[in-house]
């Protein structure tokens, strides 16, 4: 199945946004269903570049070796080329992986904080620490957004809504106010995890 997809929405000026999906394994089969729903109306100003990729060998983005792979190099190349102020990785997960992703002990187990469920199995967190610390400025917004790989229609609708929230945000305050109005506890937890993990370098 061809899931290779790209789209550029250009409303001039800043901020520069980059959304990528299908960065490992077969995730692109699911993420294209959401990313392809973003339209010119999703962005009021600035630029949004969207890329969804075909199947590649699965290697966790948490693993530093991922960024030496062909796909990892492609991701870094896009970041260096477009210098996004707002970066989002669209992922999907299998049902059996849910508990591990939201596990309170995830930090001690694999070295990163747990993801946070917003609703309908949609999980939010930061991107891989290697990427966050080496490719972005402190004020940049970097998010991972996960959806079940076999999502319900409601889950897909929620996922697309959040993608549109991020696409329409110009600043961190915009995004926190928009998402925080619906998910105040989750945003506060994300902020706490960021401070605990990154110290004075919070991603969100």
Token pair listed for 130: 């290697």
Region of 83 (left: φ > 0; alpha: ψ -120 to 50; beta: rest) is: left
CA–CA distance, 90 with 88 (Å, rounded to integer):
6
* Half-sphere CA count of 14, side-chain side, radius 13 A: 8
- The set of residues, in sequence order, having a beta carbon less than 8 Å from that of 94 and lying 6+ positions away, is 148, 149
For residue range 130-140, list pLDDT tens digits in order.
999 899 988 89
CA–CA distance, 35 with 21 (Å, rounded to integer):
8
Residue matched to tokens 């109005």: 181
pLDDT at 202 exceeding the cut of 80: no
* Half-sphere CA count of 184, side-chain side, radius 13 A: 1
pLDDT bucket at 197, cuts 50 / 70 / 90: confident
For residue range 3-40, list pLDDT tens digits in order.
999 999 999 888 999 999 999 999 999 999 999 999 99
Please state the domain extents for the chain: 5-198
Q: Residue 120 carries which DSSP code?
A: T
Query: Do residues 27 and 33 touch, judged by C-beta distance below 8 A?
Result: no
Token pair listed for 93: 């997960």
Q: What pLDDT does 204 receive? A: 46
For residue range 145-156, list pLDDT tens digits in order.
999 999 999 999
The continuous run of DSSP H or E covering 17 comes out as strand 16-21
For residue range 71-120, list pLDDT tens digits in order.
999 999 999 999 999 999 999 999 999 999 999 999 899 989 999 999 99
CA–CA distance, 118 with 158 (Å, rounded to integer):
9
pTM, to two decimals = 0.94
- Range name among 96-100, 182-186, 193-197 with the lowest pLDDT average: 193-197
């Amino acid at each position: 199945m061809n899931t290779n997809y790209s789209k550029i929405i250009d409303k001039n000026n800043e901020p520069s946004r980059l959304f990528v999906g299908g960065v490992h394994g077969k995730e692109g089969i699911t993420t294209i269903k959401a990313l392809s729903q973003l339209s010119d109306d999703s962005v009021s100003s600035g630029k949004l570049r969207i890329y969804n990729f075909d199947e590649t060998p699965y290697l966790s983005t948490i693993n530093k070796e991922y960024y030496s792979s062909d796909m990892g190099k492609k991701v870094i190349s896009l970041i260096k080329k477009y210098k996004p102020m707002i970066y989002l990785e669209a992922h999907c997960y299998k049902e059996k992986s849910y508990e591990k992703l939201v596990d309170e002990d995830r930090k001690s187990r694999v070295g990163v904080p747990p993801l946070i469920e917003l609703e309908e199995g949609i999980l939010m967190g930061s991107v891989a620490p290697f990427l966050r610390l080496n490719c972005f400025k402190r004020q940049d917004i970097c998010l991972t957004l996960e959806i079940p790989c076999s999502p319900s229609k409601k889950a897909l609708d929620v996922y697309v809504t959040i993608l549109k929230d991020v696409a329409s945000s110009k600043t961190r305050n915009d995004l926190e106010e928009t998402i925080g109005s619906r998910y105040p506890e989750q945003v506060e937890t994300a902020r706490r995890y960021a401070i605990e993990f990154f110290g004075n370098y919070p991603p969100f």
